Structure 1
Amino acid sequence: MEPNPGASMPPTKQDLNSRVLQLAELLQIGWQIIKNNWQNLLLLTLIISVPMNIVGEIINRVINNANTDNLGNLFLGFSIGGLAVSAVVLSLAGILIPLGVAAIVMADLGGTKIDYQNALKQAFGRWGAGIKTSLLMVVCLIPLAIALVVPAIIFGVFWAFSIYLVMTENLSGWAALKRSKTVVQGRWWKVFGNLIAFSILASIAAWILQVVFSFLPNGAVSNVIFATINSVTTIFAIVAGFALFKNLTANQK
């Protein structure tokens, strides 16, 4: 059978550099990348997210089960103090996930493959820059959100690619935010719509998996599992977001 000349060919990763892709094409490429690297993406996310979710659940349990007498309050203070420090450290460790995912996707798009250990090593190398960039973004967005929600959304989209730039262009802080804004400039609605679509699809996947595990009794273990499911399904949004970022960067006017 002769090929139909009118049939559209599925997008390839090379198309990211040649033309601006539509949402469906970005989703297909994102899925290709995940299929090629799913084991390393999964292990990377689990190594970071499981300890974070366990500590978060412990903090909730300590607060909910605390005694109200003076001794109980003293114990509560020490417990929460120590756990809070751990929670902050682990929350900052959460920044390693998008950095590590970016390293894996960068390698895949470059025609090579790295394992989760190499990706973690690269992520740790840019962790400080990632923390600086993320904290600066949060500090800038909080007053905008307090004053009015719309400006926070606008600049949140402008700065959406900053964490990728920490890894791809070795930028940090304000330089990463400015560069991200340059990439998004003139294509804000496209970026906004695509990011919303990625998030919705990741949320649907999380909901489906949570339904699958709904037989688990309510408790600490199920809470940690459900939180980890959310972390794992977010991988898709991060990978698709990176594909969008690379596509817009390569085809920037």
Structure 2
Amino acid sequence: MTKAGEKGYEREFYISEIFSISWEVYRQNYRSLFPLAFIVYLPLNIFLAFFPITSLSEFDPADYQSWFRIFGAMNIAVYLSFIGNIAVAIALKRKLYTNNFSLGAVIGEIFKRYFNYFTTNTLMLVLVFVCFNIWMYFSITFPTIFLLLLIPIILYLVYWSFAIYIFSFKDINLYQSMRQSYAIVNGRWAKVFYYVASFILFSVITTLILGFPYSFLHDSIFVKILYTNLVSVITSFFVVAFIIFYVNFDDTKI
């Protein structure tokens, strides 16, 4: 991975190369990343243990608790997941670029990044989450509209796929991060979609494999939180892979 002041990557990496570089980065920095990832993903897994997201098939429009179990729980889970991923990205950036790494420094930088552009960041978060919830609401009430919106949503999600990593690496707001992500992806959308889909697929397969032994463990809330958090820590490798992916495609953008 290139460091500040060094010449960037000169060509786009194959997925196998990204995984290979990511594994080396992950392995060399595991002692630092493990305790941080364990802490930053803990709120997410505690929340999901007590408030699991209900499937759409169990949704009851007349029950307000049903609304929370789907939309409320989903929003909070996505938000906590983003915070965890941003923390890992900032930690890795600080470790590789400055070697100035600590949990307090990482958490402090997250708050600094957000509150430096509080109004813009808040408006962007509200806008994204409102649009997301409207689209999910259509999945229950108007499935046809939900399906019609699926293609443009996937289109823009791919364009914005680097946004949280740009936000983690650069002192800019979320709106600027989304614009820069669009610029990186522009002209190679299909390739980025292929890479992102591959990362998601490998991440899901890894999670399923790691989750299999859980069925043989004692069923308790503590064991569930501990085990799912360990799975989150291990699969944070894919956050590292996405960071390498972002840096490489940023260096080679058209």
2:45 match: 53
TM-score, normalization by structure 1: 0.72
1:67 match: none
1:25 match: 17
Indicate if the aligned counterparts of 1:13 and 1:29 stay in contact, CA closer than 8 A: no
Gap runs ≥5 in structure 2: 53-64, 136-144
Q: In the alignment, is residue 180 of structure 1 matched against residue 181 of structure 2?
A: yes
1:8 match: none
Residue-by-residue CA offset, 1:27-72 (whole Å, 9 max, x unaligned) = 1111111112223322222212223322332345xxxxxxxxxxxx
Structure of larger gyration radius: 1
Counterpart CA distance in 1 for 2:74 and 2:197 is 28
What amino acid is aligned across from residue 201 of structure 1 in structure 2?
A: F
Q: In the alignment, is residue 112 of structure 1 matched against residue 104 of structure 2?
A: no
C-alpha distance 55-97 of structure 1, shift in aligned 2 (>3 A): closer
Q: In the alignment, is residue 246 of structure 1 matched against residue 237 of structure 2?
A: no
Alignment map for 1:1-253 (pairs within 5 Å): 13=2, 17-59=9-51, 92-110=79-97, 112=99, 114-128=101-115, 133-141=124-132, 143=135, 147-253=148-254
Offset at residue 89 of structure 1 (A): 7.1
Indicate if the aligned counterparts of 2:114 and 2:173 stay in contact, CA closer than 8 A: no
Indicate if the aligned counterparts of 1:157 and 1:188 stay in contact, CA closer than 8 A: yes
What amino acid is aligned across from residue 152 of structure 2 in structure 1?
A: P
Gap runs ≥5 in structure 1: 1-11, 61-76
TM-score, normalization by structure 2: 0.72
Counterpart CA distance in 2 for 1:30 and 1:145 is 36
Counterpart CA distance in 1 for 2:235 and 2:114 is 19
Which shows bigger deviation, 154-163 or 167-176?
167-176
What amino acid is aligned across from residue 97 of structure 2 in structure 1?
A: G
Q: Which runs of at least 4 in structure 1 moved beyond 6 Å after TM superposition?
A: 84-91
Indicate if the aligned counterparts of 2:87 and 2:110 stay in contact, CA closer than 8 A: yes
Indicate if the aligned counterparts of 1:49 and 1:231 stay in contact, CA closer than 8 A: yes
Indicate if the aligned counterparts of 2:113 and 2:172 stay in contact, CA closer than 8 A: no
Indicate if the aligned counterparts of 1:209 and 1:229 stay in contact, CA closer than 8 A: no
Helix, strand or coil: the match of 2:172?
A: coil
C-alpha distance 158-88 of structure 1, shift in aligned 2 (>3 A): closer
Counterpart CA distance in 2 for 1:195 and 1:90 is 20
Offset at residue 173 of structure 1 (A): 3.3
Offset at residue 206 of structure 1 (A): 1.9
Size of the alignment, in residue pairs?
Answer: 225
Indicate if the aligned counterparts of 1:57 and 1:223 stay in contact, CA closer than 8 A: yes
